[in-house]
């Protein structure tokens, strides 16, 4: 059986899980959300690494073929440390997100806007990976308030509109927007609409699923992926969110 682990700071990684289910590459997904300690995006590097290493220990209880770090914040800070402590392959979402930009036909001087948590933006992970691939016009914006807004289920309405205005009004019209946080795909349409639907939207969860599909191949068109959900606090709430987001 092909079994994959998905780790996130909380419920947000379900947006990546949804893409993995659609890719039909794995028969079983073991999801672990550190719901007791979310958000990671406001924490410092040492704390993020410590929590990430605890997650590695959790996944050692399962025979997984690989672990997807769905959390952009953890992907930005802790992959090397996690890899050093694990006996399974670990993939983050930053590189696939950047590769998804590369796979489009946007030019190297296109305006690229990265939206992510404070920690992810401060790490410079997306910015340096994009620069490394030759992109020169990169704007990076911390938009952490989107996280609790999505967790509250406010996927549209006045609060979201005001927050989008607050964060994005000073941004130049982007050619591409990287949704560098697990929660942002749930408000993708609103972000896109703010820029008159003229920007290419890159979702790193979608990007990693495409990469895995290419690497492993689809198992079966009718595959029903089994999902086992674990949380460090209130697993019932995670299961409820999974029902809402995955259907």
Indicate which residues carry an active-site annotation: 71, 181
Residue sitting closest to ligand DGL (CB):
41
Binding of ligand DGL at residue 92 (CB under 6 A)? no
Binding of ligand DGL at residue 143 (CB under 6 A)? no
Find the part of the chain contacting ligand DGL (CB under 6 A) among 58-66, 121-129, 175-183, 239-247.
175-183
Alpha helices, DSSP H, located in the chain: 14-23, 45-59, 72-77, 79-85, 94-102, 118-123, 125-132, 146-151, 158-168, 188-194, 204-216, 235-246
Binding of ligand DGL at residue 18 (CB under 6 A)? no
Rounded to whole angstroms, how far apart are CA atoms 73 and 9? 9
- Interface with ligand DGL (CB under 6 A), residue total 17
Picking from 148, 145, 195, the residue whose alpha carbon sits closest to that of residue 169 is 195
With a CB cutoff of 8 Å and minimum separation 6, the contacts of 158 are none
Residue with tokens 């399962």: 62
ω into 39 cis (within 30 of 0): yes
Rounded to whole angstroms, how far apart are CA atoms 149 and 57? 31
Here's the x/- map for ligand DGL, 184-223, by CB under 6 A: it reads as: ----------------------------------------
Binding of ligand DGL at residue 97 (CB under 6 A)? no
Here's the x/- map for ligand DGL, 57-76, by CB under 6 A: it reads as: --------------xxx---
Binding of ligand DGL at residue 175 (CB under 6 A)? no
- Which DSSP symbol is given to 5? E
List 8, 19, 95, 175, residue binding ligand DGL (CB under 6 A) = 8
Rounded to whole angstroms, how far apart are CA atoms 190 and 195? 9
Find the part of the chain contacting ligand DGL (CB under 6 A) among 46-54, 60-68, 179-187, 239-247.
179-187
List 38, 90, 191, 202, residue binding ligand DGL (CB under 6 A) = 38
Strand order in the sheet with 111-116: 137-142, 111-116, 176-180, 200-203
Binding of ligand DGL at residue 140 (CB under 6 A)? no
Binding of ligand DGL at residue 15 (CB under 6 A)? no
Which residues make up the interface to ligand DGL (CB under 6 A)? 8-10, 12, 38-41, 71-73, 117, 120, 147, 181-183
């Amino acid at each position: 059986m092909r079994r994959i682990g998905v780790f996130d700071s909380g419920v947000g990684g379900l947006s990546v899980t949804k893409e993995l289910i659609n890719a039909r590459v794995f028969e079983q997904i073991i999801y672990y959300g550190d719901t007791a300690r979310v958000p990671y995006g406001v924490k410092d590097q040492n704390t993020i690494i410590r929590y990430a290493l605890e997650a590695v220990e959790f996944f050692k209880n399962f025979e997984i073929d690989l672990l997807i770090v769905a959390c952009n914040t953890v992907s930005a800070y802790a992959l090397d440390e996690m890899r050093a402590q694990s006996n399974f392959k670990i993939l983050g979402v930053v590189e696939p997100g950047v590769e998804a930009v590369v796979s489009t036909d946007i030019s190297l001087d296109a305006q690229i806007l990265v939206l992510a948590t404070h920690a992810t933006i401060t790490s410079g992970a997306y910015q340096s990976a994009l620069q490394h691939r030759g992109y020169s016009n990169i704007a990076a914006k911390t938009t952490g308030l989107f996280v609790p807004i999505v967790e509250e289920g406010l996927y549209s309405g006045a609060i979201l509109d005001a927050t989008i205005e607050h964060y994005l009004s000073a941004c130049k019209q982007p050619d591409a927007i990287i949704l560098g946080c697990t929660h942002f795909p749930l408000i993708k349409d609103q972000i896109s609409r703010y820029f008159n639907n003229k920007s290419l939207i890159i979702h790193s969860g979608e990007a990693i699923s495409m990469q895995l599909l290419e690497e492993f191949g689809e198992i079966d068109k009718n595959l029903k992926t089994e999902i086992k959900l674990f949380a460090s606090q209130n697993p019932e709430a995670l299961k409820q969110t999974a029902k809402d987001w995955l259907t």
